[in-house]
Amino acid sequence: MQIQEIIVVEGKDDTSKIKQAVNADTIETNGSAINKQIIEQIKHAQEKRGIIIFTDPDYPGQRIRHIVSQAVPGCKHAFLTKHEARAKQDKGIGIEHASIKTIQEALSEVYQLTELQPVDIKKEDLIGFGLVGGPNAKDRREKLTKRLRIGYANGKQLLKRLHMFQISQERLAEEMSVILQEENDDF
């Protein structure tokens, strides 16, 4: 699998793992202490080939994703869940611990933030689907964000994340139908 865009990752181990999974170039941020030189390199790469931000599903990874996407508009985003990024020996969370197949899947389902169009999902919809304020809300959010590959979001973040990635009301309803059916099948 050939990736045209340059993938922004946190470190050498991530680059090594990605190169096992796909044919791609990377830029390493060397952790969350991103300097101006790295940002300039990412801006240049975005102008020439495009960027995919692919960071670990933890706080430092989210911080890096935020810093880069604020400094370099138009980046694409790929996500892993914490479960997908966890080592079998449970020694940490990171892209370097994910399987080749999981990395390939994540990179085949990237999101690009575009000029935001109005999205018809409202907080009431999230409440109606039991995604906020209910006993199973966290579990349902985890399942939904995993199915959509948009990175885990808490109750406050979910609506913003759905809007940011232009998830339609129809897509939300389709995914929740599957999740609710799976819940019913478990009983």
Are residue 107 and residue 35 in the same domain, yes or no? yes
Range with top average pLDDT, 33-37, 39-43, 87-91: 39-43
Mean pLDDT (the chain) is: 89
Domain boundary among 112, 136, 161: 112
Q: Among candidates 17, 9, 103, 3, which has minimal Cα distance to 50?
A: 3
What pLDDT score does 90 carry?
Answer: 62
Is the same domain home to 138 and 98?
no
**Residue-number span of the structural domain to which 38 is assigned:** 6-112
Looking at the fold, whether 11 and 86 belong to one and the same domain comes out as: yes
* Confidence at residue 124, expressed as pLDDT on a 0 to 100 scale: 92
**Same domain as 134, residue 82:** no
- In this structure, the answer to whether residues 83 and 129 fall within a common structural domain is no
100 with 173, same domain: the answer is: no
pLDDT of res. 86: 83
Q: How confident is the model over 50-61, as pLDDT tens digits?
A: 999 999 998 899
- Angle of helix 12-21 versus helix 100-108 axis, rounded to 10: 80
Question: Residue 1 domain-assigned?
Answer: no
Longest CA pairwise span in the chain (Å): 55
Instruction: Give the CATH number, domain containing residue 29.
Output: 3.40.1360.10
Q: How many domains would you assign to the chain?
A: 2
pLDDT band at 64 (very low <50, low <70, confident <90, very high): very high
Choose between 117 and 143: higher pLDDT: 143
Give domain status of residue 117, yes or no. Answer: no
Are 76 and 166 within one domain? no
Closest CA to 9 of 23, 29, 34: 29
Q: pLDDT, tens digit, for every residue of 66-108?
A: 899 889 988 999 999 888 888 666 678 889 999 999 999 999 9
Contact present, 52 and 5 (Cβ < 8 Å): yes
Which pLDDT belongs to residue 160? 86
Q: Is the pLDDT of residue 186 over 90?
A: no
Share of the chain above pLDDT 90, in %: 60
Q: In terms of C-beta distances under 8 Å and separation of at least 24 residues, what long-range contacts does 135-144 make, across chains too?
A: 136/183, 140/176, 140/179, 142/81, 143/179, 143/182, 144/172, 144/175, 144/176, 144/179
- Whether residue 96 is contained in a domain is answered as yes
Whether 75 and 34 map to the same domain: the answer is yes
